[in-house]
Structure 1
Amino acid sequence: MESSAKLPYDNNNTAAGSQCAGIIIDTCDNNNKSCGGEKSDPVLSSRISSSKYLFPSAYLMASLRTRIIRQFIPQRRRSRKSWKTFLLCMALTTVVIFVQLNCGWFEKHFLQSEFSLGFSYPANLDNFSNVVRRFRDSEGNTLDFKPEPINVAYSQISFLQKALDYVGKGPVGLLIVVKSATRNYKKRRAIRKTWGDEDYLKQNVMKQDLPTKVVFICGVPDGDDTHTLNELFKEEDHYGDVILAKFQDTYGNNTFKTMLAMRWATEIVKHYKYLMIVDDDMYVNPSNTISFIQEEIPSLKVQTLESNWSGAPAFFPIDETSSTGGSANIISLKGKPLIMGELWQDSRPFRNMIGPGSKWSISIEEYPFSYFPPYIAGGATLFDSDTVANLYYASFFTKHFWIDDVYIGIIAYKLGIPLTHSNYIDSSYRRRPSLGRMRDNFDKMLALHGLQCPEQLIELWSTLDIESLTDCYYLLS
């Protein structure tokens, strides 16, 4: 006999285990500890047990809601959390890659060598200074010289023009060599009208009537720019003050330009007292420079201070560092090798730079150490002639490095020559308004950077008003 028993709540012949709107409804009795693999909510179970017989529709809705809460919502939250984690990881990876490319973090902290633990730069020779002295005594004769030079690049470049007629055959007191790009004719013309004017220079001589001479050194134009090269030859024919060397005149070849200036002064001019190498966007006061050489240097007191990180020593005038002096070693600069300018200490190489900073990016292969030795910023540097010769001949035993002021610092460090900071040589690039910070020392300045165009140099020379310079936009319009 077929049973006709029905569930008490079966008004529509629908059981708790049947399908409702295409969704399977599971039931749990009160004695079960789990339902669907999850722990039963006692409050929800109590409500269901008391209402499922009386209100079947409410029971079905509660069961549906339970299924959604237990299965669908946690899964959606887990999915959202996974996406957030993924996006966060991608963002962190992007930041790490950017930092690595822009700052060379990996190279900076893992691959490079600590300067303070020991610095060596090829060629690594015992008694480096003695080797350089012997090589200088041989007048740079590389034939059968031991140890064999590793860098003869600067000695093998030929001079197309030497400016000998302009300099003359007699001794020179102050020789100023301006590093100029081939296309910078306007800058050279502005210098000839101002601090490089020949009549003005004739009034500024050192003791024993040693004259001051200003010349320009250039390479040949990059590429097949024969027009610029021909114009440069015409300029030399007219003024006679251009040294033209056969190397490509690019920013990466600045070391060639600096070392060829030293070679020219050492091998061709020979008889001079002091050399100043400057950029063609500098304001220079030859009169102040001569006075400083003759009056200040013989009595200048300096103290030796070591850099914080590299540990390399340098000379500082005592009037600048007396507040930190204490028992610092105070000596006289007279008779010491002279490499003077704006001193940079504790300077780090840029690693794997991208964007505008890539111009100065340096790989581990080029320079493996965490810091540079102290160096003088390349805008303007003052040397005595003996030191220039030592630096030039030492370059034969020092691997080429394309940043010229750093390269001079490396050679000086290998020779054991401390660099001297000057309060009156400002080589850092600054925009025109900040030149006003030099107003208190402007009448004593030897060299100053920050002029934005040749017209500003002409205006400054005529007015001597550093705070009221006309903006280049108005000068050129």
Structure 2
Amino acid sequence: MFINFRRIHKCQCVRLLTTGLLLCVLMVCWEPLEHHVVSHMRSYSYRYLVNSYDFLSTFSRQSGKDRSNRVDGETANYPYLINHPWKCVAGDGKSWDDVLLLLFVKSSPENFERRQAIRDTWGDESFVSSELGVNVRLAFAIGVHSDVGRRSGVQSALLREDNVHGDLIQQNFVDTFHNLTTKLMLQFHWRQMYCPQAHFLMSADDDIFVHMPNLVQYLLDLLSTKSGAKNLWVGHVHKGAPPVRRTNSKYHVPYGLYPWPSYPDYTAGAGYVVSGDVAAKIYQATLLLNSSMYIDDVFMGMCAKAMGLSPREHMYFSGEGKAPYHPCIYDHMITSHGHATDVRSLWREAMGHSVHNGSRGFLGNLYCLAVRVMLLCLPNHQNTYSCRAAFT
């Protein structure tokens, strides 16, 4: 048999080069691969098999183990720069008003236009009162501007804004990503001190859209049940999410800060609702746990876990995505994320649909089912809501 040694040599070179290329690709892609595959497998295994978190001792304020890498202290140490302690008091000034929902919107100091758009649309207290027949109190949770050079000018503008609208709640902490947990604590502390009678508390970003008629009806339906809406924490639930260990990520959390391979279940911080009893329990948890975990929705999950609370999934609370613009979506929509500039147009469209929409009938409902399947269930299509939401 004749053997071509030159051909064998070439094949070996090709194999060597191919192997080297694959190793290089693996080395380059290992960190994201580890996060998206290996860490998720490890996270799910821990979350559903071990499920042992010791937050009360590891993050206890009394333990002396303050793991915070921030200069700032706890929210209770921050004085109010702008406050409205009588916002939830009745007109007689002596009793609590009946508030269905305390709506706290997390906003950055410079986001004047976003706040105004919310006041003009889904956050309009007078619209909710006159059209929906319930009381909602809107408040914006903010800190001070992060740029020292611009801080004075922005603060003056904030005081003028609040003088007109009376809905800013500001404490003297620097308004940055790593202080979002402080902003979360502000909301639960303020509710406990100044609006404890509110049946529900909603925490929302200033770039989400809330379909207020749908939300109000959902909350009223909950109140009409025998349980009276107890132990409610509802939103877009993240289950078994792993901490991001990549140092170049905005959401990087080192092992020294959070040693477990999985976060407890939590709702996306874009928008979620808790009942009054849950808000009181979260407030108590913030007194027990230090706030070194700077990712606010994860810290919320830690507080809830420490209090024995679990989140409830609602398919029409959004996570990170924006809902499709379509009347068949508006029928069920609660929140949609990513609306920094189009809140007013979406409000006009959604509310116009609500006013003119009558009973669809069998064919109309079948049409909407088909539309929702096309919008929410296409392969490789990123949506705000899951495919299951199409069949509700």
Long gaps (5+) in structure 2: 91-95, 354-370, 372-392
Instruction: Provide, for residues 285-306 of structure 1, a one-character-per-residue CA deviation record: whole Å limited to 9, x for no partner.
Output: 334333322224543xxxxxxx
Evaluate the alpha carbon distance shift between residue 193 and residue 376 of structure 1 in structure 2; reply closer, same or farther with a 3 A threshold.
same
Question: Structure 2: which amino acid aligns with 1:407?
Answer: F
Does the residue aligned with 1:460 lie in a helix, a strand or coil? helix
1:119 aligns with 2:52: yes
CA contact (8 A) 2:241 2:263 kept: yes
CA contact (8 A) 2:55 2:306 kept: no
CA contact (8 A) 1:103 1:350 kept: no
1: CA distance, partners of 2:240 / 2:343? 32
Question: Structure 2: which amino acid aligns with 1:451?
Answer: H
Q: Which residue of 2 aligns with 1:303?
A: none
2: CA distance, partners of 1:256 / 1:250? 10
What's the C-alpha RMSD, in Å, of the aligned pairs?
3.7
Instruction: Provide, for residues 309-358 of structure 1, a one-character-per-residue CA deviation record: whole Å limited to 9, x for no partner.
Output: xxxxxxxxxxxxxxxxxxxxxxx76453111112222323333165xxx2
How does 1:53-452 map onto structure 2 within 5 Å? 85=16, 87-88=17-18, 90-104=20-34, 108=39, 114-115=46-47, 116-124=49-57, 153-168=74-89, 170-171=96-97, 172-203=99-130, 211-224=135-148, 225-226=150-151, 227-299=153-225, 334=228, 336-352=230-246, 354=248, 358-400=249-291, 401-430=293-322, 434-436=324-326, 439-452=327-340
CA contact (8 A) 2:40 2:241 kept: no
Tell me how far 1:263 sits from its aligned partner: 0.8
Instruction: Provide, for residues 427-473 of structure 1, a one-character-per-residue CA deviation record: whole Å limited to 9, x for no partner.
Output: 3323x6x344xx435234333324351xx211222232689xxxxxx
Q: Percent of counterpart pairs with the same letter?
A: 24
Tell me how far 1:364 sits from its aligned partner: 2.7
Q: Which residue of 2 aligns with 1:319?
A: none
CA contact (8 A) 1:218 1:244 kept: yes
2: CA distance, partners of 1:160 / 1:272? 23
2: CA distance, partners of 1:384 / 1:422? 15
TM-score with structure 1 setting the length: 0.61
Tell me how far 1:373 sits from its aligned partner: 1.8
Evaluate the alpha carbon distance shift between residue 103 and residue 411 of structure 1 in structure 2; reply closer, same or farther with a 3 A threshold.
farther
Does the residue aligned with 1:278 lie in a helix, a strand or coil? strand
Q: Which residue of 1 aligns with 2:363?
A: none
1: CA distance, partners of 2:41 / 2:100? 49
Work out which of the two has the higher radius of gyration on C-alpha atoms and give 1 or 2: 1
Evaluate the alpha carbon distance shift between residue 396 and residue 103 of structure 1 in structure 2; reply closer, same or farther with a 3 A threshold.
farther
Evaluate the alpha carbon distance shift between residue 218 and residue 123 of structure 1 in structure 2; reply closer, same or farther with a 3 A threshold.
same
2: CA distance, partners of 1:120 / 1:282? 32
